[in-house]
Structure formats: structure tokens, C-alpha cells
Amino acid sequence: MILTVHHVTTYEYDMPMRGAVQSLRLFPSRFDGQRTIRWDVAVEGGLRGGNFRDGAGDKVEGWSLRGPVTEVTISAVGQVETTDTAGVLRGHREIVSPFAYLRETSATWIDHALRDLAETAGLGTKDPLDRAHRLCGAVSEAIAYRPGTTHAHTTAAEALAQGEGVCQDHAQALLACARAVGMPARYVSGYLFAREDGAPHEAAHAWAEIWVETIGWIGFDPANACCPDARYIRIGSGLDAHEAAPIKGIAQGDGSERLDVTVALEAVQQ
Amino acid sequence: MLSRTAENLFWIARYIERAETMARLLEVGARIALMPSAGHGYRSEWESLLQASGTAEGFAAKYGDPVQRNIESYLFFDRDNPSSVVSCIERARENARIVRTALTSQVWDALNGAFQEMRQLERKPRSEMELTELTEWVTRQAALVRGAIDATLLRNDGYAFLNLGFALERADNTARLIDVKYYVLLPSVDFIGSGLDNYQWQTLLRALSAHRAFHWAYGGEITAAKIAHFLILNPQSPRSLVTTVTMAMENLDALARGYQRSGAAQMRARSLVGEIAETRVEEIFDEGLHEFLTRFIRDVGELSDMVQAAYLSGEAR
Amino acid sequence: MTTYFNEMYEGGTVREPYARLEDWTKAMPAALRAMKQAEAEALFRRIGITFAVYGEGGDPDRLIPFDMFPRVFTQAEWRKLERGIKQRARALNAFLLDVYGRAEIVRAGKIPARLVFQNEAFERAVAGFTPPRGIYSHIVGIDIVRTGADEFFVLEDNCRTPSGVSYMLENREIMMRMFPQLFRENRIEPVDGYSDALRRTLASVAPAKCEREPTIAILTPGHYNSAYYEHSFLADLMGVELVEGADLFVEGGFVWMRTTEGPKKLDVIYRRIDDAFLDPLCFRPDSMLGIPGLMDVYRSGGVSICSAPGAGVADDKAVYTFVPEMIRFYLGEEPLLNNVPTWQCAKPDDCKYVLEHLGELVVKEVHGSGGYGMLVGPRSTADQIETFRAKIAAHPENYIAQPTLALSATPTFVEEGIAPRHVDLRPYCLVGEKIELVPGGLTRVALKEGSLVVNSSQGGGVKDTWVLAE
């Protein structure tokens, strides 16, 4: 599948800021399921800083803007060819040990309910791959997709208690469950191409990856109860949503910001 | 140098100068309060003093009526008053501690010594201390700091920022001190030219340690015009407005030479000096002394903002 | 504690390194001593040296007690220590390079993966990045105790930002000023090369992108920090700027200082702030001390940070146990300096032993560095021991235990005259293009009779440390 991405993020400030710095983890991953045809990232009026590929294989690029700044517009535009690898992250170069992904964060804190959910779901199987699938299914059932019920800082435990949330909540709950049963897991941010049946969802998407000793990292999307396929574009990963965020930035000044994001994905006719 | 270092140096000087001004203001107040006052009371004089030092609101909120003893505490010892002598010395020393390495040990000793002695003064019962003793102590400490700076510091950009701090603060403070005279006199214009008026002018000269210097420079009768000339327009007078803005200009020019670039602050300083050098004392009285001083204080404030933007803010490119 | 090694007297005779000091003390009547002591204090106050050993907190204007009786090593003793310290510093850096790369030591099963990768000090953000010369910890402070003529043990390693070196330098300065005669009679190796060596070390790890003489700065949390004096002292000695986070900004892939002449590029940052506060975009988002975007510049090779973020994983108290193993694994050598035997409460057998012998052991928390969460069994009340027993039972993996060592003692001036007091030693090893170690270090002394706690917050003081030339 060839997917065209047009992703524009705009921060508007109600008073001029002295300057801004951005750290962008906004580049398609390199692995067997993805090939980047072209990809351009730009910050309007910004100065490009250094870039590097981190230990988890994500490309990161720094940007800065000189003040006064009233608006920051970040665009990522490009084309990616994808193939279905049944969720397996094959051919991805990274150096960080999977054990580094057992650590809890405040957003993925494991409370009793998450632990119960994980342990119950894992019962009756010794096969780690099977267990990972069951965890994904359990989270998918326990949290209904309902936009607007949670916010950026909702924790996995809160989302489970509430029983509803969006893809971020699903993914973080799955991370917590996997780690609760000793399986390394990480948060993945990326894009998802709209299904032809027109079911509602956001093109910017997030899911989880679980480490299965015999295979490696495998993607699980509890929001859609499936593994990522050719409709998914993988961008970057982290211990939780905050760490894996494609865009991190700070503007210096007293203004308050307003965020606007548009993401459009199209399949190129072949 | 780091912009923050320059800022610390600039403020060391400003706080030392400000501490000295506070002490001098107290001196003026105490002397004016001693004289036989006709028509208006002792109370309004202290009020004017608070007005001139910009501390009236803070004082009123804390103490209400201006009673001499409370005013002395507030202007000298009170840490709630950011302009009190104690606050100024403490902040000067704290700024110095931050940039210890940009100072010589003599300058540090002078600032740290002032701070340590001040802490001892604070522990002494107030009844054991005369106001004059306190104000003289402050002027002595300020002289020690200045002396150490002049005798031991490298004549580099740091030296220029210190002197810029002294110059701009003194310009502002001298203008405010002269303005006390305005506040005191305002209620009764009749006094102008009277013996009382002259007494007040002399008090002002004394507070500025300029009493004798004035006589050497002018001789004869003391007149308001002569004193205004001395404190505003005379380039020989160490605290006159023209002297202080000239000092600011010279230090800005030194920075421009050292950095090989000149900017808005230099231009502004030059025009300020040019303007005041051409002013005649009659014009000041025509404009109104208070109006003239208010304008001058605003101009100096703007120059200070320019120095901040060009060198201290760290935003310079 | 009944027996311990006295560094000056062995039996009834004076040990060789202290030979000339006996006459010195005999020639100093109490009155002269009191005068000299007052003079020393006045000097410290005058230069404004205030100090708190890393992590102890306390009043920033506090003076740490200075004991004028020097602690002395022979050249031979020092050579041996030096080799051991340098060996350890090399191994610790090799370990860091490894665990942020392929982690061969974990693959080889020499250290548990959990201990490394789940360690709070392991920074995933720097994995896969090789800093200049592959060095992570450029200033390694190794705390050493002595228990016999030839017995030295490493108590702990400090790979992040060991403090106290200003005391090593100032103690010497003040001793030379007060007792010049002593320095003529004894041939003592100088320590004042430290600042040049530090500067050389920092310059030698400038990023590859830096094509001229590197610009170096010390990054301090600010003047309220208890070690601020040390930061400004070192900056002054090296002739580099002392900066706070707000003095720096990131642009175009580099870090810049805000100066009165405009931005100036910075190449090497000797940071004296913790990892968590370096960059709010990468670590704690609420950090007011850091520089947004710093880590992106670091990772893309625009600036060097010393010590490297993540260096702390090597000095964790649980990782400490494996340092001898690191030395064998990376260097193929046997450790020249021994660890203190350590029980890891994470191991059930060890934990059982520790809980049964709490009254005789020293128990330490594994995360964090220094002083906190420590139990000195023989010096604790039954209540304190029971509190710790509960803590260990709840989270055994957070604790290690060591025997209470008979720390050596050196003569120290006390109220009644001269008496032995227990000491430790922190030498500062510099790792850059070369590995350098100035002869000596900071000797901390427990001034209370019988006390083994040398921390300045608990009645500890400092001494000048001599290494005699041959």
C-alpha cells in the first residue's frame, strides 16, 4: 500500500513568546513493513538543528524559533510504502535492551485493577505470543472507544477505572498489563489509514508493542483489537505517550497556547 | 561576559548607591524635622520623604501614619521594604556572591564586610544607635566598596557595567533627593526665597555631603538658582545630574569601543548629556523644577531599559 | 569497635610517613595551636568557602571543620592506590560504554539485566550514542577506607558529579600558608595541578564538530546550591564561565551562551546538576534549571556533557557489587582494590543473613547517592533497627548490607590535645584523553570520638592529605 501523509500541527500563542524549541520524533520508522518514498519535516520560520537516530531506532530532529513567536507550524508531508508484517517489527535496527521497557512511568502505573486484568487474561496459556494477544483482547474489551472522555494526562489506571478512552488510553493500559506480567512493552505513535467502511477514528494513532522473546517486538492495537498491518505507519516509540510524542516543544514566555492538528492520509491508486 | 554576570555587576552598584541614597534621605528627613516649621507640620515632611523614595505605599500598608521612628525602621532595617538599606546591602552582597569570580577579593571583602557588620547592627538594640551613626555607617561602607572597585578592578567591561550601575542609580537618586525639596515646599509657595527655604536647601546640600563644596564653588548668598545649578548642571559636582549622565555615557562608550559596536543606548546617552549641558537654570524653573525632574527620571529609566535590552537581557544578537 | 589501624602509631613506634610530624606537634603548644586553628577558620571564612558533601544538604553558609593534622601516605602506598583507582575508573567507563551499546556484559551473564536496564539511573535516551572518546564519567570520585597497613577497600564509586575537590585544594592552600616550614621539611606532592588537569580533560572530550579551542563552562543549579562555592571556585581556577540553565539556549544544533556581546558557542559543559534537570524536553518537563533541546544537541554531536547523562548507572550501590567483575570482564585484570564484602538483599539467602545480623551491619539503600537511608547497626537503637527491618522486608531489592568496617584512624586535634579519629579518602580521578589523578584527595574525618560517620552533616571534618615524594 502506498500512503500519502499530510500532517500539520499549529501552536498559536495569545501573546508573543521569546522563542521556542522543538524536538521532533516525526519520521517513519525503517523496517521491513515500511519504506519511505519521500518525507519532509519543516517548522515554519524555524532553524533546523541536529538530528540523530536514537537507541530505539527513532529519528529525532531539533528545531528552534527566534522570538517574538506568535505561531509555530510544524508540517510533516510525505509518502510511505507499507506491507503487512502481521505486526512484527522485522528488520528494525535498535540497540536498547527490551529489559529497559519493563520500567513503569507515572502514566502507566500498575494498580490492582490493571494487575488483575493482566493476570486473569494471561491465565491458561504459557505461550508468550498467545498471552500478548489475550492481553490485547482484554484491554480492548475493558476500555470502550469514546473520544472526549479522557485527556492527555489520563493514566492507564484511570482509563481502566473509567472503562472508556481513546487509542492513547488503550495503548497505555496494554503497556501496564504487559509489564505487570513481566513482558517488556512500549508505546508506539504513528498513523492509521481510514477504513473504507468509514468507521470513525483519528488518522493520528497510537498502539503498543510487546516483546515476545522468540520473535521480537510485535505491535498490538487494542483500540482496534488487531495487530498493525499495511494501513499503519509507525513513527516512534517510548515508555508511554509522553515519551513517544512525535512533537515535544517549549516556548518561552507567558502566553497560553492553542493547539490545532490536522492529519490527512490517502492511499495512492495503483 | 555572560549577560547575567553583567547584570549582577550592574545591580551590585545600583544597590550600593541606593542604600546610600536611603541613608541620605533619612538624614534629610531628620534634619528637616528638626527645624522650626511654620504653617505645616512635621508629619507632611516625612510623608514627602516617603513619596520621594517611592516607598510611601508600602509604608502606609504596614504602619499607617508616618511616625519618625517607624519611618527610620522601614527605610533602614525593614526587609519587607525592598529599598531599605538592609535589603539593598543584602542584595548587593548576594549579587556579589553569585559573581565572586568577577570581583577582586578586596571588592568582595568590602561587600561581605558591609553585610556582616550590618547583621551585627541588626542585633543591637535600636535605642543604642543614633540615626546619624547609622547613616554615616552606610556612606562609609559605600565608600569602601567604591574605593575597592576603583583601586583593584580591571578596567574591562565588568568595570563599565559597575560604573553604569552607579551612574544610572545616582542620576535617578539625585533627582529624587532634589524632588524631596519640591514636595516639602509645595504646600506653601510663599516660602520661596525665605530663610526657611534656604535652610531646607542647605539641609539638602548637607545630606549630599556637598555643603562645603558648594561654598567653594559659588560663594556668597545661597540661592535656589545656585543650588539647582550645582546639583543639576555643574559638571564639577560629583552627584549632579549632568555628571551622572556623563558618567553613564562614558561607560557606554567604553563598552562600545571594547565590543566594537554601538547602539541605541549610546545614542540615547549622548543626546541626554547634550540636552542637559545646554540647559540653563532659568529654563528649569520656567518648566517647573518638579516637572523637569520627573522628565529626567523618566529619561534615565528609559536609558536603563536600553542598557538592559542591549547587554543584560541576554537577548542581544 | 575495639581494634582499628592507627596510621601514625604502630605498636609504640611512629610509622614512617608520620615521622616528622611528631616533632611538629611537640613543638606546638596549646596556645599556638588554638591561634593557628582560629587563623585557619578566619581564612576559610574570608575566602567564603562553604560546602556540603553531595546530597547532604544543610546550611549553605556552613563551614566544615578543618583539622590541621595532615593525613599522610608514602609514595609506595599511593602508587598502589593510584593503580587501583585508575583501573577502577577505566572499568567503570568501559561498563558505561558497553551498557549503552551492545551490553556484552549482560549477554555474558556477568550482571543481571534487571539491575542495569531497570535501574532508574539507566537513561534510555543516551543508548546507542557514543560520547567523544567513549567516555561517560570524566570525574570519578572513589571513596576508599583503610583497615590495615596494606588493606584498602572501596566503599562506593561516584561517577556523576563528585563534590569536595575544592576542599582538597583549599586545605592544601591554607596549610601551606600557615605552616610553610612543614612543607620545607617534608617533600609533599603538589595537588594544585588539578584545575589544569580538569581543564585538559574537559577540552579533550570536545565534540568532533568543534574545530577550534573548545569553549568550556560549568553548569550550576545556582547560587542557592550548597556546592555553589565549589562551582564558582573551579570555574575561576580553570578560567571558564560559570553558567546557569537560563544563560544557555539551543539553536541550529548547537548550545549558545547569552553574553553581552551576543551568543557565544559552547562546546563542553561540566554539569553540576542531575540528569533529571538537564533538559525539560527529554527528562523532567517541570525542570526550571535545564536547557530545552540540550539533549538533541548532545545526541547529534553539537556539545559534550561531562559527566554524560546516564553515567549514574555505574555508581549505583547494587551495581557496585559487580565492579570487580567489570574489571575482569573488560580489562582482563584482577582488581587491585577490593570491594567491601556486600550482601544483596535482593538475594533471599543474603537477605535472610542481613535480617538476622542487622545489629552488626551497615545497611544502605541502593538508589541515590550518599548519606540517605542508611543504618549503621552497632550505632543504632533497637527502634531504628526494627524500622529498617520492616523497610528491608517490604523491598529487599532496594537494600544492600556490608560489615561495619574498622576504619583506620589518624591523629586529630581535639579539645584535649591529639587523639586518633577515623578517616576515609575520596580521590578524584580524571578521565579524558589520559587518565590523571592528583596525588592525594579529600580526607574526611569523624571528629566525634569513636564515630565512623565522616559526613560533614554529622560531625565530620576534613584534613589536608599528603603524598610524600620519594
- The verdict on C300 touching A (C-beta cutoff 8 Å) is yes
Q: Which of B93, B100, B306 to mutate to test the interface with C (most CBs of C within 10 A)?
A: B100
Q: How much is the average pLDDT of A137-146?
A: 94
> Does the pLDDT value for residue C22 go beyond 90?
no
Cβ distance of C117 and A102 shorter than 8 Å = yes
Residue-level pLDDT at C428: 97
Provide CB contacts within 8 A for C137, sequence distance 6+. Answer: C89, C92, C93, C96, C159, C160, C307, C308, C311, C314, C315, C431
Rounded percentage of chain B residues whose pLDDT exceeds 70: 91
DSSP chain B: -BHHHHHHHHHHHHHHHHHHHHHHHHHHHHHHHHS---SS-HHHHHHHHHHHHT-HHHHHHHHSS--HHHHHIIIII-TTSTTSHHHHHHHHHHHHHHTGGGS-HHHHHHHHHHHHHHHHHHHS-GGG--HHHHHHHHHHHHHHHHHHHHHHS-SSHHHHHHHHHHHHHHHHHHHHHHHHHHHHHTT-GGGTTSHHHHHHHHHHHHHTT-HHHHHHHH-SS--HHHHHIIIII-TTSTTSHHHHHHHHHHHHHHHHHHHT---HHHHHHHHHHHHHHT--HHHHHHH-HHHHHHHHHHHHHHHHHHHIIIIISS---
Residue-level pLDDT at B27: 83
Do A252 and A181 share a domain, yes or no? Answer: no
Q: Write the pLDDT tens digit of every residue in C401-429.
A: 999 888 999 999 998 889 999 999 999 99
Q: Which of residues 244-263 of C touch A (CB under 8 A)?
A: 249-254
Residue-level pLDDT at C371: 47
Chain C contact set for A47 (CB, 8 A): 251-252
**Using alpha carbons only, what angle is made at residue B230 by residues B229 and B233, rounded to the nearest 5 degrees?**
55
> Does the pLDDT value for residue C360 go beyond 70?
yes
Choice between C157 and B127, residue whose per-residue pLDDT is larger = C157
Provide CB contacts within 8 A for C349, sequence distance 6+. Answer: none
Q: Which residue of C has its CA nearest to B104?
A: C47
pTM, rounded to two decimals:
0.90
* pLDDT class of B129 with cuts at 50, 70, 90: confident
> Does the pLDDT value for residue B38 go beyond 50?
no
Choice between B65 and B110, residue whose per-residue pLDDT is larger = B110
* Nearest neighbour of A62 by CB, restricted to C102, C114, C253: C253
Indicate the DSSP class of residue A88.
B
Distance from CA of A60 to the nearest CA of C (A): 8
Cβ distance of C124 and A62 shorter than 8 Å = no
Of the given ranges (A182-186, C188-192, C403-407), which has the lowest mean pLDDT? C403-407
> Does the pLDDT value for residue B125 go beyond 90?
no
* Main-chain dihedrals φ then ψ at residue A129, nearest 5 degrees: -65, -45
Arithmetic mean of pLDDT over chain C: 90
Cβ distance of B316 and C260 shorter than 8 Å = yes
Of the given ranges (B56-70, B277-291, C209-223), which has the lowest mean pLDDT? B56-70
> Does the pLDDT value for residue C55 go beyond 60?
no
Do A25 and A90 share a domain, yes or no? Answer: no
Residue-level pLDDT at C28: 86
> Does the pLDDT value for residue B223 go beyond 90?
no
What distance, in Å, lies between the first and last C-alpha atoms of chain C? 35
Residue-level pLDDT at C57: 43
Residue-level pLDDT at C52: 43
Cα A159 to Cα A113: distance, rounded to the nearest angstrom: 11
Q: Write the pLDDT tens digit of every residue in B11-25.
A: 999 999 999 999 988
Residue-level pLDDT at B187: 45
Do A38 and A64 share a domain, yes or no? Answer: yes
Q: What ipTM does the predicted assembly reach?
A: 0.93
Domain count within chain A = 2
Helix count and strand count (H, E) for chain C: 14, 23
Do A218 and A93 share a domain, yes or no? Answer: yes
Of the given ranges (A62-71, B90-99, B148-157, C284-293), which has the lowest mean pLDDT? C284-293
Do A63 and A169 share a domain, yes or no? Answer: no
Do A61 and A16 share a domain, yes or no? Answer: yes
* pLDDT class of A262 with cuts at 50, 70, 90: very high
Rounded percentage of chain C residues whose pLDDT exceeds 90: 68
Do A43 and A118 share a domain, yes or no? Answer: no
Q: How much is the average pLDDT of A100-107?
A: 94
Q: List the domain range (segments joined by +) for residue A237.
A: 84-244
Residue-level pLDDT at C48: 64
- The verdict on B315 touching C (C-beta cutoff 8 Å) is yes
Indicate the DSSP class of residue C193.
T
- Tell the CATH topology of C341-403: Dna Ligase; domain 1 (3.30.1490)
> Does the pLDDT value for residue B90 go beyond 50?
yes
Cβ distance of A249 and C281 shorter than 8 Å = yes
* pLDDT class of C53 with cuts at 50, 70, 90: very low
Chain C contact set for A153 (CB, 8 A): none
Residue-level pLDDT at C50: 55
Integer CA distances (angstroms), C115 to A178, C105, C128, C159, in order: 20, 12, 19, 17
- Which CATH number characterizes residue A31's domain? 2.60.40.2250
User: Of A31-40, A190-199, C117-126, C223-232, which one has max mean pLDDT?
Assistant: A31-40
> Does the pLDDT value for residue C458 go beyond 90?
no
CATH 3.30.1490.270 maps onto chain C at 341-403
Do A166 and A188 share a domain, yes or no? Answer: yes
> Does the pLDDT value for residue A199 go beyond 60?
no
